[in-house]
Homo-oligomer: A and B are copies of this chain.
Amino acid sequence: MTIVSLDAMGGDAGPDVTIPAAEIALEANPDLKLILVGDQELLTKRIADLKPALAERVSIRHASQKVEMDESPSSALRGKKDSSMRVAINLVKEGEAGACVSAGNTGALMATARFVLKTLPGIDRPAICTSIPSVEGHNHILDLGANVDSSSDHLFQFAVMGSVLASAVDNIESPRVALLNIGEEEIKGNDQVKRAASILAASELNYIGYIEGDQVFKGGSDVVVCDGFVGNVMLKTTEGVAKMISHFMKEAFMRGPLSKLAAVIAMPVLKSFRKRIDPRRYNGASLLGLRGIVVKSHGGADAFSFANAIKIATLEVSKSVPERIHSELETLLTRREAV
């Protein structure tokens, strides 16, 4: 049995999304138990309609407060000690849950998770990692904004964490790790990236070299390592470009009666195409480098989307991701020192 705690009050819609998502996740995985954290009275009412077979795998843990979506990390940390987010993370710390999922605000979630769970030995700062699609499959990209001005050692730590995550989530023996770089500058890249490249090349990770922004979407790699500022811009650009293109496509198909007719005829194809690039399939960013598993869902996620984040959390539990990051890092660093 895998037990996951849900910050049931987090996200833009709170229980309107988290409860239906819990239902989807429980249906999909008979070995899953969920602890819903939040307002006991409210949540009790909300789960009353669950099928008995599912309801017996759900429990509720009361939390009297809620972290707002625009609340600062420090305010959440100091003023919301009984928030659904904090209590859900506490359950991981105390071993009652194997992982926690929250759609609450990223800054508060990262600060709280770091404060409660602490980082693993050898990890300077946790990182955020999610997968984004490519023609061939997908890449796990990190960091996505928890760290700016990352040093070469940070980039190396990201590489180890991303490699373990990709191996766990995708069942790959030896994930291909690439370092995001640019090819335009007179002397390519910056010093941090160049130093990280030497460290990675000398390590026993499956390091395949530099990758440029456009190649990431072609395939050929499993993990893409970069500074958090750069990774965040890449992730947001991906979202922005996809939305812009779908806007232009809609506009083209709505232009006149003939194109509207074409739209009706092309509808099944357009639907299957949309499904392929559906961002909901990629929802669930892992906070890596902590002594426990925390997965962040998009704040505006729907139930399908949030359920995907729960699935990622259970995969990380089954593969003991934090323990594997710890042992992998220790092995690599020992070998590095021995050289």
Contact = CB atoms under 8 A, between A and B. Distances in A.
Contact of A190 (B144, B229, B270): B229
A230 B180 CA distance: 11
Which of A213, A233, A247, A266 has most chain B Cβ within 10 Å?
A: A233
Main secondary structure of the interface of A (DSSP, over half): helix
Copies of this chain per assembly: 2
B236 A212 contact: yes
A188 to B, nearest CB: 8
Interface string A205-221: 00000001111111000
A40 interface: no
A189 interface: yes
Contacts of A232: 182-185, 212-213
Interface string A122-139: 000000100001110000
Interface residues of A, number: 70
Nearest to A232: B182
A336 interface: no
Contacts of A265: 261-262, 265-266
A208 B228 CA distance: 24
Given A213-B233, A252-B270, 18 more contacts: A107-B186, A110-B186, A134-B244, A144-B184, A145-B183, A145-B185, A146-B184, A148-B182, A182-B233, A189-B229, A214-B237, A215-B240, A217-B243, A234-B237, A258-B268, A263-B269, A265-B265, A266-B266
